[in-house]
């Protein structure tokens, strides 16, 4: 053990004591500058940290303001589009269903008038009995027993019966014809009922559309007013959209992976299996990936040309003729690529079968050949079908992709703002820690020289507060 520091090497305790006293005296003498040094160090650390925290808070406010503006603008645009669509729907409905409504109404009224007239005719009373009925009555009052009268009466009865039968037949015929007329109006009544029902439904649909427009208009007004409710509603909507779009894209990625597996092996027949781009990445795998990405791009252009998505304003702004050309080109390429994939899927099956046959021939014990028949062809057909269908299914990822991109702006903005606020909080916290640490160090320093301080108090009798400025006060001034 090195004893060079000992004042009395034979007595370590006394040496330590002497050195402690000396150190205490030295520290007491350096107390004021040391306090100042510690405090200034604390302030030096605290100042920039607080400044940084304040700047970050300002940046977060600016980001939040910018996010809010973008969010409201985006929401406003979206609601405008929806209202526009609702009005288009209403317009189409009115044009299609209610355009000929006045003519129809007039026709209906005419027909109803005719039916009423006919109905009135149907309700006519039978003609009154002829005048000779009174003569017959007079004859019947003649006394019985007159043979001539009896014969006349019998003749009259026969004539009356004959006339009655004739009149009754004619009357029935007239009623039959009226009933036929009425019967002829039955389909018309049904059609009338159907038409009126359709009109009623259309009116109901119009009513619903009007209610939807009202709801959208209310939303629009809130967005234009820029109130917190609208912002909160749009933010929640963006987060929901982001989550849904991400989920759909994950599912699509699964589909793309299956697609990749289908064509990676047969692609090695086209570009070679021995070429590598990196140690573990074959050229054939990259080629398969490129084909899948090209298919997804074609799907993107197809949906863009159909105006389902709006990721490329240049395509949306093209005239209809050019847009249709792009649509057909994208569709043709997509169908071609789907056909290529189906062929590759078939080739994959053949390659696997060939490899299997080779391995069987290399095996020591000969294995019996398996004859699957048509059942064995099901996987091949399934692979080909998948190879053809998956590109079209992948084409639709443009829709969730657009949703993800649009909602990602809001989600990213909110997360970035939160991150900046957290950073500001951490800086502020670190500043406070530095300030309190300097205080603690000052107090610890005084604890180390407590004996000289006690002596000073006893001897000088000067109040310490008056002698030394308050640390907090000084820091507050500097902060």
Q: What residues make contact with other proteins under the rule CB under 8 A?
A: 265, 268-269, 272-279, 283, 350-351, 354-355, 358-359, 361-364
Least Cβ distance, residue 291 to other proteins (angstroms)? 16
In order of 37, 305, 435, 469, the CA distances from 472 in angstroms are 15, 68, 9, 9
Which residue, 348 or 435, is less far from other proteins as judged by CB? Answer: 348
> How many CB atoms are located within 10 Å of the residue 89 CB?
15
User: Which candidate, 400, 388, 397, 401, places its Cα nearest to that of 259?
Assistant: 388
Q: What is the crossing angle of helices 283-305 and 377-395, to 10°?
A: 50
387 contacts 338 by C-beta, under 8 angstroms: yes
Q: Using the minimum distance from each CB to other proteins, give the nearer residue, 366 or 373.
A: 366
User: Which residue, 358 or 460, is less far from other proteins as judged by CB?
Assistant: 358
- CA-based nearest residue to 192, from 111, 118, 95: 111
CB nearer to other proteins: give 25 or 358: 358
Name the residue nearer to other proteins (CB basis): 19 or 293.
293
Distance CA 25, CA 455 (A): 12
Distances (CA, A) of 394 to 185, 299, 421: 57, 7, 39
Q: Which helix (H) or strand (E) holds 133?
A: helix 132-140
Query: To the nearest whole angstrom, how small is the minimum distance from the Cβ of residue 30 to other proteins?
Result: 56
Give the nearest distance from C-beta 226 to other proteins in angstroms. Answer: 32
> Closest approach of Cβ 297 to other proteins, in Å?
16
| Complex with other proteins: residue 135 or 359, whichever CB lies closer | 359
**DSSP class of residue 282?**
E
**To the nearest whole angstrom, how small is the minimum distance from the Cβ of residue 355 to other proteins?**
6
Nearer to other proteins, 16 or 281 (CB): 281
- Could you tell me which of 157, 162, 167 has the C-alpha nearest to residue 136? 157
CA–CA distances in Å: residue 32 to residues 406, 445, 451, 469, 478: 61, 11, 16, 11, 19
Q: In whole angstroms, how close is the CB of 277 to other proteins at the nearest point?
A: 5
What does the radius of gyration of the chain's CA atoms come to, in whole angstroms?
Answer: 51
At its nearest, how many Å lie between other proteins and the CB of residue 360? 10
Query: How many angstroms separate the CA atoms of 167 and 169, rounded?
Result: 5
- How many CB atoms are located within 10 Å of the residue 285 CB? 20
Least spacing, CB of residue 412 vs other proteins, in Å: 16
Sign of CA dihedral 3, 9, 12, 14: negative
Q: Which is nearer to other proteins, 25 or 273 (CB)?
A: 273
C-beta closer to other proteins: residue 261 or 325 = 261
Helical segments of 363-449, H only = 377-395, 398-448
CB of 349 to other proteins, least distance (A): 12
Closer residue to other proteins (CB): 260 or 276: 276
Class of residue 164 by CB neighbours under 10 A (exposed 0-12, middle 13-18, buried 19+): exposed
> Shortest approach of other proteins to residue 285 CB, angstroms?
13
């Amino acid at each position: 053990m090195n004893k060079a520091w000992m004042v009395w090497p034979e007595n370590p305790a006394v040496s330590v004591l002497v050195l402690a006293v000396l150190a205490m005296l030295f520290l007491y003498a350096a107390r004021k500058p040391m306090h100042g040094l510690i405090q200034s160090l604390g302030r030096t650390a605290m100042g920039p940290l607080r400044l940084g925290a304040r700047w970050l808070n300002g940046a977060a406010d600016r980001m939040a303001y910018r996010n809010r503006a973008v969010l409201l603008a985006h929401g406003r645009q979206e609601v405008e589009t929806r209202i526009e669509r609702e009005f288009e729907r209403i317009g189409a409905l009115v044009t299609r269903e209610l355009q000929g409504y006045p003519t129809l109404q007039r026709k209906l009224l005419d027909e109803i008038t005719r039916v009423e007239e006919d109905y009135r005719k149907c309700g006519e009373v039978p003609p009154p009995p002829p005048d000779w009925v009174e003569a017959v009555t007079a004859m019947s009052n003649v006394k019985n027993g007159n043979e001539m009268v009896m014969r006349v009466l019998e003749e009259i009865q026969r004539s009356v019966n004959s006339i009655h039968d004739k009149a009754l037949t004619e009357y029935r015929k007239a009623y039959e014809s009226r009933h036929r007329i009425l019967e002829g109006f039955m389909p018309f009544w049904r059609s009338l009922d159907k038409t009126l029902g359709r009109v009623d439904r259309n009116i109901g649909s119009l009513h619903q559309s009007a209610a939807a427009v009202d709801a959208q208009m209310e939303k629009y007004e809130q967005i234009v007013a820029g109130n917190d409710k609208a912002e909160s509603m749009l933010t929640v909507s963006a987060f929901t959209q982001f989550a849904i779009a991400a989920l759909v894209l994950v599912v699509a990625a699964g589909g793309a992976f299956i697609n990749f597996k289908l064509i990676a092996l047969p692609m090695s027949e086209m570009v070679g299996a021995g070429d590598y781009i990196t140690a573990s990445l074959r050229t054939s795998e990259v080629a398969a990936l490129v084909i899948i990405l090209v298919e997804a791009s074609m799907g993107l252009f197809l949906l863009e040309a159909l105006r389902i998505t709006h990721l490329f304003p240049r395509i949306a702004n093209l005239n209809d003729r050019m847009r249709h050309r792009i649509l057909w080109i994208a569709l043709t390429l997509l169908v071609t690529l789907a056909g290529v994939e189906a062929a590759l899927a078939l080739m994959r099956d053949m390659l696997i079968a060939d490899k299997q046959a080779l391995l069987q021939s290399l095996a020591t014990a000969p294995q019996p050949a398996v004859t699957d028949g048509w059942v064995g062809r099901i996987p091949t057909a399934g692979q080909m079908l998948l190879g053809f269908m998956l590109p079209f299914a992948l084409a639709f990822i443009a829709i969730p992709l657009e949703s993800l991109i649009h909602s990602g702006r809001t989600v990213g903005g909110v997360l970035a703002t939160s991150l900046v606020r957290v950073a500001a909080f951490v800086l502020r916290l670190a500043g406070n820690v530095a300030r309190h640490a300097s205080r603690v160090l000052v107090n610890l320093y005084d604890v180390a020289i407590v004996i000289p301080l006690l002596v000073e108090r006893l001897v000088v009798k000067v109040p310490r507060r008056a002698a030394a400025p308050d640390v907090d006060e000084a820091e507050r001034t500097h902060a």
